[in-house]
Structure 1
Amino acid sequence: MVIAVDFLRLEEFCSIYIMEKPLLLYVFSFYWHFLNALFTVEAPSSLYIVECGSNVTMECTFPVNGKLKFRDLSVSWEKKDELKKQVYSLLRGEEDFESQHSDFRGRIKLLKEKLNLGRSLLQITDVKLGDAGVYRCLIGYGGADYKTINLKVKAPYRTVTQRVVRTGDNKWKLTCRSEGYPQAEVIWQNRERKDLTDKANTSYETGSDRLYHVTSTLTIKSRIDEIFYCIFWNKELQENTTAILHIAEDSADTESRHFLGAILIVPALIGSVLLFILCIKKARANKDNRTPVAASSVAKLSKHKDKHNRRDTSFEDGELKYIQIEKT
């Protein structure tokens, strides 16, 4: 004999009358354990670890025993924060998005084609740091049961920005910057792997993205051709990212040089403008000088052409006379 009970109605019924009728508590507790013995929800994995910005699919399973009767199925995914947040709800075969919390809208999908196999797969796209927490998968189908699943979101300190600045004679300021989640510890070491962390100054800031923006600076006296390591150690995730800082002769990223470069930019711009103006004035002067010369040249050319034409005419007349005399 199979007893079909709507677990949502049972919970509502119990919450209303439990204070007035203690007997109902006993009845509800009895039937809850009885139904659990017949209907059990399982979680193949109770922990999911995913990187921020990627996708994750969490799963819980339930018994179907034959062909799934979709109208008898209720699925609910909730996130247990200070206030319970509804992630996804399927009531008697109908999806309910009105009760879905705004944090998850547009990023949640239940793979309904897998329900026939007794698998409730919840997909979250573009995972955010705020998605981390404990989720509860509730299934109602002839019986009722749930399982809790923990979701952890990480943002590894993959990129480390480094800077080497000379502050004096064999004095240097080494800086490493990176961002990630959870908060990381910064460890400094020299070539021999001696710990120099106590000589460093490390600061932490958090932005609207909830990422930790970490800056660590080591001020030290060192000769040329030395190397130092800054290590971002994420203890919670057991991960580390290491950057190598090399002090070399060409480590000329000094603060004074940056300042000098900024000063020299202004005169260079002014000089370029003055040179441009001078070129324009010179071009105009050359244009004015070329105008009369061109006119004179044209006049001379015209005069020379007329003289040449007159010579050609005389030559033709003489030739004509010569021909006439010859004929005579």
Structure 2
Amino acid sequence: MMEKLLLLHIFLFRWHSLNALFTVEAPRSLYTAELGSNVTMECIFPVDGKLKFKDLSVIWEKKDEVRKDVYLLLKGKEDSGGQHSDFQGRIKLLKENLDFGQSLLQISNVKLGDAGLYHCLIEYEGADYKTINLKVQAPYRTIAQEVVRTGDKEWKLTCQSEGYPKAEVMWQNEEYQDLTDKANTSYETGSDQLYRVTSILTIKNRTCENFRCIFWNKEIQENTSATLYILDSADDVLWTESKYLVWPVLIVTVLAGSASITVCIRKARASKDSRTCMAKPSINITKLSRNKDAHDCRGPSFEDEELKYIQIEKT
């Protein structure tokens, strides 16, 4: 630890003079990582000839309210005891690249708390450091949806998702009209620091429509959307009921027609003057046969018998 304090002392009081002789560079000053992924940050330093490992010190630290040691290599020896608990078990320095003047720090299973400013300090025949910014994001990729009927032609549409940073929620109907002002959007944060965003849109006097909720993550310029369908509308219910009511009516009609035809045939057999009764059922048969959706419950044998009887009457 004393060696680290001595190195920091050099940075504070002799940095300007040392910087002219030894310069650390950062190929990238900003890194963006996704929650749960791995990220590798890099700084480079000059190596003249073969690296003298025992003379090299590498310090990666995170600049928070309290400075946190991420990785310590002091005069060629790792100091895992000084590492902050936030990074234990998740940090690796790719030592094989040190010979080429590359300090590559790998952070695995990135957390939201890893976001912030990092200092890469190198002491080797001089001393210098660079600041690198790490941003962590959690896209709103999964949207839970719910459509609930709350009254006559009134619906409550809900979209809910988790992510980071905070996202705006916009609503549109199928004609792309903006309905965002009519929605109620709330935000919650848990111990994982993720935003739990819930947006509710109440729709009245709408049937057979679809709506879209859009989670817009402005900071990372990304949006995720979901489509909600209103299918169980009042019109659908009436149509379904009507569809099921059609068949009983047809069956009753056909059965009633069949019964009247049977009575007429029996009467015709008893009396040849009862031709008037036969005319009426013949008309009913013609009307039913034109309705392609109606099923004749009498069967073909009954029609054959009836036509045969009509031919006998004509002779």
TM-score, normalization by structure 2: 0.70
Please list the CA deviations of residues 260-304 of structure 1 after superposition, one character each: whole Å capped at 9, or x if unmatched.
xxxxxxxxxxxxxxxxxxxxxxxxxxxxxxxxxxxxxxxxxxxxx
Partner of 1:315: none
Partner of 2:52: 69
User: SS in structure 1 opposite 2:80?
Assistant: coil
Among 123, 133, 140, the alignment partner of 2:106 is 123
Among 33, 38, 60, the alignment partner of 1:50 is 33
User: SS in structure 1 opposite 2:20?
Assistant: helix
Map 1:239-318 onto structure 2 (within 5 A): 239-249=222-232
User: SS in structure 2 opposite 1:113?
Assistant: helix
Shift of 1:10: 5.8
Shift of 1:9: 2.5
Query: Does the 8 A contact of 1:7 with 1:144 survive in 2?
Result: no
- Cα–Cα, structure 1 residues 165 and 64, in superposed 2: closer, same or farther, change >3 Å? same
**Paired positions, count:** 232
- Cα–Cα, structure 1 residues 231 and 37, in superposed 2: closer, same or farther, change >3 Å? same
- Paired with 2:233 and 2:204, the residues of 1 have a C-alpha distance of 17
User: SS in structure 1 opposite 2:125?
Assistant: coil
- Cα–Cα, structure 1 residues 107 and 11, in superposed 2: closer, same or farther, change >3 Å? closer
Partner of 1:103: 86
- Paired with 1:208 and 1:14, the residues of 2 have a C-alpha distance of 37
Partner of 1:89: 72
Unaligned stretches of 5+ residues in structure 1: 1-5, 16-27, 252-328
Map 1:124-139 onto structure 2 (within 5 A): 124-139=107-122
User: SS in structure 2 opposite 1:38?
Assistant: coil
- Paired with 2:86 and 2:65, the residues of 1 have a C-alpha distance of 14
User: SS in structure 1 opposite 2:43?
Assistant: strand
| Paired amino acid for 2:122 | I
In the alignment, is residue 236 of structure 1 matched against residue 219 of structure 2? yes
Please list the CA deviations of residues 229-258 of structure 1 after superposition, one character each: whole Å capped at 9, or x if unmatched.
11111111111111111111379xxxxxxx
Shift of 1:14: 8.8
- Paired with 1:13 and 1:181, the residues of 2 have a C-alpha distance of 39
Map 1:184-223 onto structure 2 (within 5 A): 184-223=167-206
| Paired amino acid for 1:148 | T
Query: Does the 8 A contact of 2:208 with 2:233 survive in 1?
Result: no
Please list the CA deviations of residues 118-140 of structure 1 after superposition, one character each: whole Å capped at 9, or x if unmatched.
00000001000000000000000
Among 170, 174, 179, the alignment partner of 2:153 is 170
- Paired with 1:41 and 1:167, the residues of 2 have a C-alpha distance of 64
Shift of 1:33: 2.5
TM-score, normalization by structure 1: 0.68
CA RMSD of aligned residues (A): 1.8
| Paired amino acid for 2:35 | C
Partner of 1:12: 9
- Paired with 2:175 and 2:68, the residues of 1 have a C-alpha distance of 52
Unaligned stretches of 5+ residues in structure 2: 235-315
In the alignment, is residue 37 of structure 1 matched against residue 40 of structure 2? no
Map 1:19-34 onto structure 2 (within 5 A): 28-29=13-14, 32-34=15-17
- Which protein is bigger by CA-based radius of gyration? 1
Shift of 1:11: 4.1
- Paired with 2:24 and 2:226, the residues of 1 have a C-alpha distance of 47
Query: Does the 8 A contact of 1:76 with 1:89 survive in 2?
Result: yes
Please list the CA deviations of residues 93-149 of structure 1 after superposition, one character each: whole Å capped at 9, or x if unmatched.
000011110000010010001000000000001000000000000000001000000
- Paired with 1:175 and 1:41, the residues of 2 have a C-alpha distance of 52
Please list the CA deviations of residues 131-183 of structure 1 after superposition, one character each: whole Å capped at 9, or x if unmatched.
00000000000010000000000000000011111112211100001000111
| Paired amino acid for 1:126 | N
